[in-house]
């Protein structure tokens, strides 16, 4: 089966060279961000390019990123969410991954950076007039050379047998089931999608002619809708590359609890 392995090669880059992106490429990126906002078409997300990353880095040092470990890069893209609807959060992450694919195709490396814990006053000081909420930004630039023999400990992935349920939550695929349906590569590669804290909360409930995306969480946390939007983008991309040309349809207000684990139904995809 012909299946791109672009997801396997796609990695977060946390150390960037001190090299700016060419101004012409930066203006192409700006045009692309505008086109993505238009494609999204609901006005629920705004992407802005911060060309002068140094200022932003200095302001967010010690407060942005996991436990205040801010990622230093020559430029950043901010994701501004214009409303708090679930569908907007999901679609903002979906489209940010589309932006990342474009950047990777231009040879540019990226890392999502969480800034949800940064105080609102500080954000206003950094970003000026923001109408919506900025909880995530993307560090962009050219990554330093990586040692191919050292595996990043936070890049590990769960197995396909933990990712996919057949017909019923908790029921793993058996034998050649996925292969016989031509879905083995799709589920193998989609696991390489990024997720916040590498939690990989996505689960797929596979039925005869459709698949449901579920997000797993416990009663002390909220389901990660950002991670949902990200995996939806990659699932759709990979499915389309093997000739399954459906689109996700969102499911509202459906949560199932199994053995103290909550599963939020996010969407349905016809196979
Ligand atoms: C919504 C989101 C927020 C993230 N925030 C951060 C962050 O603040 N700092 C960081 O170093 N990595 C961050 N990451 C990157 C993830 O930790 C990373 O994608 C995951 O560990 C898997 O590694 P990989 O992207 O190299 O495959 C974030 C990823 C996502 C999807």
Residue 114's DSSP bridge partners are 136
Q: Confirm or reject: Cβ of 265 under 6 Å from ligand 1.
A: no
Verify that 14 and 136 share a domain, yes or no. yes
pLDDT at 3 over 70: no
Residue nearest to atom 7 of ligand 1 (CA): 113
- The 10s digit of each residue's pLDDT in 178-206 is 999 999 999 999 999 999 999 999 999 99
108 and 184 part of one domain? no
**Prediction pTM value:** 0.96
Within 8 A by CB and 6+ apart from 101, the residues are: 6, 237
d(CA 235, CA 248): 9
pLDDT digits (tens, 9 = 90+) for 103-119: 999 999 999 999 999 99
For residue 107, being part of any structural domain is answered with yes
Last residue of a domain, one of 117, 141, 165: 141
Query: From atom 3 of ligand 1, which residue's Cα is the shortest distance away?
Result: 196
pLDDT at 5: 66
Whether residue 168 is predicted with pLDDT greater than 70 in this model: the reply is: yes
Report the CATH number at residue 206: 3.40.109.30
pLDDT in tens, 63-81: 999 999 999 999 999 999 9
- pLDDT (0 to 100) of residue 42: 87
Whether 235 is covered by a domain: the verdict is yes
Residue closest by Cα to atom 20 of ligand 1 = 198
- Give 20-39 pLDDT, tens digit per residue: 999 999 999 999 999 999 99
What is the domain extent for residue 237? 155-270
């Amino acid at each position: 089966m012909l299946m791109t392995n672009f997801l396997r090669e796609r990695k977060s880059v946390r150390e960037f060279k001190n090299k700016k992106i060419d101004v012409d490429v930066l203006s192409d990126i700006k045009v692309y961000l505008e086109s993505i906002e238009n494609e999204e078409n609901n006005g629920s997300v705004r992407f802005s390019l911060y060309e002068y990353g140094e200022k932003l880095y200095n302001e967010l040092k010690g407060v942005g990123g996991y436990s205040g470990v801010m990622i230093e890069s020559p430029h950043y893209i901010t994701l501004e969410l214009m409303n708090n609807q679930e569908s907007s959060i999901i679609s903002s992450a979906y489209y940010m991954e589309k932006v990342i694919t474009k950047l990777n195709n231009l040879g540019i490396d990226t890392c999502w950076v969480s800034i949800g814990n940064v105080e609102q006053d500080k954000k206003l000081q950094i970003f000026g007039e923001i109408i919506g909420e900025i909880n995530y930004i993307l560090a962009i630039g050219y990554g330093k050379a990586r040692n191919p023999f050292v595996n990043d400990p936070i890049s590990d992935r769960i197995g396909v047998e933990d990712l996919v349920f057949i017909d019923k939550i908790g029921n793993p695929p058996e034998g050649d089931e996925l292969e016989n349906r031509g879905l083995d590569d799709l589920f193998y590669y989609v696991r390489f999608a990024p997720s916040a804290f590498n939690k990989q909360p996505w689960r797929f409930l596979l039925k005869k002619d459709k698949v449901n995306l579920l997000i797993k969480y416990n009663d002390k946390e909220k389901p990660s809708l950002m991670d949902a939007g990200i995996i939806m983008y990659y699932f759709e991309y990979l499915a389309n590359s093997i000739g399954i040309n459906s689109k996700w349809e969102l499911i509202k207000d459906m949560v199932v609890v199994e053995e103290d684990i909550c599963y939020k139904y996010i969407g349905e995809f016809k196979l």
